[in-house]
Amino acid sequence: MAEMSPLHRVIDAARWDKERLLGRLIILVHAAFLDAGFVFHADSVLKSGRVPRRAGRTASTLSLVFAQDPRPGTHWVCVDARAAAPLLSGGLDDTARALTDDDGDSPVAALWRELTEKLCRSTLVAVCPGNTLLSLPVDVMLDILARLTDGVDLFRVASTCAGLGRLVADHDSELWKHRYKASFWRRWNDKSPMADDASGTTWMKLWCKERREDAKFAASMREYRRQKSKPTQIF
């Protein structure tokens, strides 16, 4: 859904409509860095939520601050502002949908890939120490994640950064299928059938659904016990 896009996480439709095309391009770059796993820095020019009007008139470059000390080497990506900005002339929802065009034919999607893959993620790798989880071989990372006993912890890991999110998503069945089935059987009185495959969805989403059902069942049991504990009134 467009509402879950990286753009919607940093700006709303009303503010998007007020921005000039250059401002929208800068916001797109800002969203790409955050989507790659960077954290918003208090010294960034975007801390007020709007791009300064002087940016498009007097500045040849605009500094967006995401780096931590020690700062990484320089990473460059060339974006032709005159060619790119008109691609962002539509509304926020239409632009957000174009970012994740499944066919990859959208010029906006091509611009997004240029930013996220060639600039943001390569920079993120440069600032991360060499002994992080993502520096390990895939089979070792999967072995570590498989040892997490609580699915909530695995969900949190997947939400940490784009790299770990992709790793967990790429090994959905291996990491989530058994967790879903274990969660399903805890609701022993449920009449809905257990899913045998995750066609049209993912095992992680099925697990999340079971977690919600678990919470509902637990709430209903608490209410049942509360009602049973009430003293009986005899008239």
pLDDT in tens, 43-54: 555 555 455 555
Query: Does 47 lie in the same domain as 158?
Result: no
Residue with tokens 């916001």: 27
Query: Does 139 lie in the same domain as 120?
Result: no
Query: Does 106 lie in the same domain as 193?
Result: no
Q: What is the pLDDT of residues 168-178, one digit of tens each?
A: 989 998 998 88
Query: Does 221 lie in the same domain as 160?
Result: yes
Cα–Cα distance, 132 to 156 (Å, whole number): 16
Task: Select from 127, 142, 164 the last residue of a domain.
Answer: 127
Query: Does 49 lie in the same domain as 34?
Result: yes
Query: Does 143 lie in the same domain as 90?
Result: no
Q: What is the pLDDT of residues 61-86, one digit of tens each?
A: 556 666 554 555 566 666 777 777 77
Q: How confident is the model at residue 134 (pLDDT cuts 50, 70, 90)?
A: confident
Give, for 153, the enclosing helix (H) or strand (E).
helix 151-158
The total number of structural domains in the chain stands at 2
Query: Does 55 lie in the same domain as 88?
Result: yes
In a domain, 170, yes or no: yes
In a domain, 92, yes or no: yes
Q: Which domain holds residue 32?
A: 2-127
Sign, Cα dihedral of 205, 171, 32, 111: negative
Q: How confident is the model at residue 112 (pLDDT cuts 50, 70, 90)?
A: confident
In a domain, 115, yes or no: yes
In a domain, 235, yes or no: no
Query: Does 122 lie in the same domain as 87?
Result: yes
In this structure, of 4-8, 21-25, 44-48, 181-185, the range with the lowest mean pLDDT score is: 44-48
Taking a C-beta distance cutoff of 8 angstroms, is the pair 183, 210 a contact?
Answer: yes
140-143 long-range contacts, Cβ below 8 Å, gap at least 24? 141/167, 142/167, 142/171, 142/174, 142/175
Cα–Cα distance, 160 to 141 (Å, whole number): 14
